[in-house]
Amino acid sequence: MTRGARIHDPLARASRRTDGDTAMTRPATLALAAALVAVLATPPAARESRTERVAFPAGTTGTTIEGSITGYEAVDYLVGAEAGQRMMVTLETGHTATYFNVYEPGKGPGEEALAVSQFGGVHPMVPDINRFDATLPTSGDYTISVYMMRSAARRDETAEYRLRIEIPAAQTMTETVERDYADGLQGGPDFWQVRLADRTSRLNVHSGPSAGAPVIGRLAHGKTLRNAGGCRMAEGRRWCDVSDTRGLRGWVAGAFLIEAAPPAPDRPVLPAHAAVPSADPVDGAAPAFVVRLANRGGLLNMHGAPSAAAPVIAQLPFGATVRNAGGCTVAEGRRWCDVADARGHRGWVAAQFLVPGETDVIELHGSVAFHAVEEIPTDLIPADSGARAASTVAGTMPEIPEPHAGRREIPSGTPPYFGTFGASAVAVRAAPEAGAQTVFTVMPGTVLRNLGCEGAWCEVGSVGDDRTGWAEAAWLEPAESALRAGQGVFDATGLITCTQAASAPARDCAFGVARDGGGSATLVVIRPDGMRRALFFENGAFVSTDASQAGGGFDTEATRAGDTTIVRIDDERYEIPDAALYGG
């Protein structure tokens, strides 16, 4: 037999006859096809397989994979889908003895296959050789195994191929994905835990079940989450609807979750003092609201629904500005407004405690994650704003002097700043113990200096003064650049070239930058008119700008010129050297 010759099968030959020429009846043919699927579905016994997880590009319903196998090699592709969805698989190869099998969730090579691509035209799910097209019976991870027939594998032949997998979005999908999970909310466990191979990395929380959906938060390894709404298959992978104790709710990739026990009870979320309403009515069409309480030490509860009986998911202090996220409604005889705060919490508050305000939060990828930009300290702005510092021209940003002398060295790899979180104020104590005297308290979302940790406690310092104390590590997380820059905590300052209007001349503008590392940073620029513009970068690429300034429709464009990113926002223009993002 010549190299690459097709190994024919009686059933395959029968599939090419017309119904009138075939000796078997259609029911008998299908019965035989089913029997052969069970008998012949297994690739060579000595297979050398590898497994690859398939994830479709964000916002798409399919992908094409190019690969090759030699001899007894096989590749098992895992792709997630829901019951009722249609899956189409096509294998293109010049090698006539290479096929694929499709296995249902929970099954794989060595077990009965759902379909074998060799049986084209006979099996109802295989309309032609190396084509699969069917409505899927169950939800979960399907295995598509590409392999070579034994006769060709024995000759150590090589087959190059292109595998196309498509799963169009279903109109309605009501079945929650279930696998080997405990009973709980809609078929999954009550709680998940984040499991990451790199424990220093973070798991993105998206606003929808898609890698292209806006990122609304990030979760650390070991974080316990509530199963908020079950899991779904999208873009070829499993996505789970989760929420954390801070009120953050969104979708995460299920591959990074394991079943977990309930977390320890969170802090009580009762207000320190009763909130007394403002006398002014709120305008439900305002872009933002400001919390106004008669007793400024009070806290306003944010509920999960427009009801005083709904769970409290966050608390807001006097003067806090929140975005109008969905307007206002009337329930239980009072007005409630759907709002979002600067930490990503979204919920309902009583409208009587709100007054109209300006939008002074900055949106990052569609989620509120950045406090209003504070003043860049005047001692960090070069005195001669018309002359660029030589170090800045050379691409090295001058580091901000350490304002707090005597700060101890913290271990390598630990964050220099923490951000606080939780549903209530965080106490900073005189000693690392729960009964120690409270030195000061801070609200969630406050940046603190990291002075070193011991066990479950970390010594922290206020950014604005020399106060120090101990806070429970459970209420601290690394402060990301957007949070730090929003509170005026910068890694470097300097001058960049900027233009405020189309006809205006270019000039030097002071800036401050807070870096997350790897080119991810938040850069705040003081424009010639004294206003501020925040620019967000990820991996060295410009991704978005703030929405805190009044003006145009924020048409943005970013181009590269050498080692500089040129950002245009309406008629504004900013030249950002790579050194500002990465450090010099």
Looking at the predicted structure, is the pLDDT value of residue 94 above 90?
yes
pLDDT of the residue at 234: 80
571/579: higher pLDDT:
579
Question: What pLDDT digit, counting tens, does each position of 158-211 carry?
Answer: 999 999 999 887 544 434 333 333 333 345 688 888 888 776 677 888 888 888
pLDDT of the residue at 25: 44
pLDDT of the residue at 32: 44
pLDDT of the residue at 261: 80
Counting residues of the chain whose pLDDT is more than 70, the rounded percentage is 69
Looking at the predicted structure, is the pLDDT value of residue 258 above 50?
yes
Question: What pLDDT digit, counting tens, does each position of 48-64 carry?
Answer: 788 898 888 877 888 89
Within 359-436, residue ranges assigned H as helices are: 390-393
Question: What pLDDT digit, counting tens, does each position of 261-315 carry?
Answer: 876 544 333 333 333 444 444 556 778 888 876 655 556 788 888 888 777 777 7
Is the four-CA dihedral 525, 358, 543, 522 of positive or negative sign?
Answer: positive
The answer to whether 148 and 157 are in contact (CB under 8 A) is yes
- 3-class SS string, 320-376: CEEEEEEEEEEECCEEEEEEECCCCCEEEEEHHHEEEECCCCEEECCEEEECCCCCC
C-alpha dist (Å) from residue 91 to 55, 66, 129, 157: 18, 10, 9, 17
* pLDDT band (50, 70, 90) for residue 26: very low
* Mean pLDDT, rounded, for 3-19: 34
- Cα Rg for the chain, rounded, in angstroms? 30
d(CA 29, CA 544): 59
pLDDT of the residue at 127: 92
* Mean pLDDT, rounded, for 97-116: 91
Looking at the predicted structure, is the pLDDT value of residue 229 above 90?
no
d(CA 407, CA 414): 15
C-alpha dist (Å) from residue 327 to 289, 316, 361, 523, 569: 11, 18, 17, 31, 28
Looking at the predicted structure, is the pLDDT value of residue 36 above 90?
no
The answer to whether 538 and 519 are in contact (CB under 8 A) is yes
Looking at the predicted structure, is the pLDDT value of residue 17 above 70?
no
pLDDT of the residue at 295: 53
Task: Find the length of the chain.
Answer: 584
* pLDDT band (50, 70, 90) for residue 69: very high
* Mean pLDDT, rounded, for 11-28: 38
Q: How far is CA 445 from its chain centroid?
A: 19
DSSP class of residue 252? E
pLDDT of the residue at 584: 67
pLDDT of the residue at 183: 33
* Mean pLDDT, rounded, for 417-437: 82
Q: Are strands 237-243 and 249-253 parallel, antiparallel or unpaired?
A: antiparallel
365/228: higher pLDDT:
228
Quote the tokens at residue 357: 């305000």
Least confident of 160-174, 237-251, 451-465, 518-532: 160-174
Within 53-164, residue ranges assigned H as helices are: 150-154
Q: Are strands 532-538 and 507-517 parallel, antiparallel or unpaired?
A: unpaired
Residue 94 burial (CB count, 10 A): 9
d(CA 30, CA 23): 13
**Average pLDDT of the chain, as a whole number:** 73
d(CA 302, CA 307): 10
DSSP class of residue 463? S
Of 470, 544, 509, 188, which Cα lies nearest the Cα of 376? 509
DSSP class of residue 401? P
* Mean pLDDT, rounded, for 85-112: 92
- 3-class SS string, 465-499: CCCEEEEEHHHEEECCHHHHHHCCCCCEEEEEEEE
* pLDDT band (50, 70, 90) for residue 424: low
Residue 20 buriedness (CB in 10 A; 0-12 / 13-18 / 19+): exposed
Looking at the predicted structure, is the pLDDT value of residue 474 above 80?
yes
Q: Are strands 224-234 and 237-243 parallel, antiparallel or unpaired?
A: antiparallel
Quote the tokens at residue 214: 């806006």
* Mean pLDDT, rounded, for 312-330: 79
* pLDDT band (50, 70, 90) for residue 104: very high
pLDDT of the residue at 262: 75
Whole-prediction pTM value? 0.39
Q: Which domains does the chain have, with CATH numbers?
A: 10-166 (2.60.120.380), 185-259 (2.30.30.40), 288-360 (2.30.30.40), 378-397+487-582 (no CATH), 417-478 (2.30.30.40)
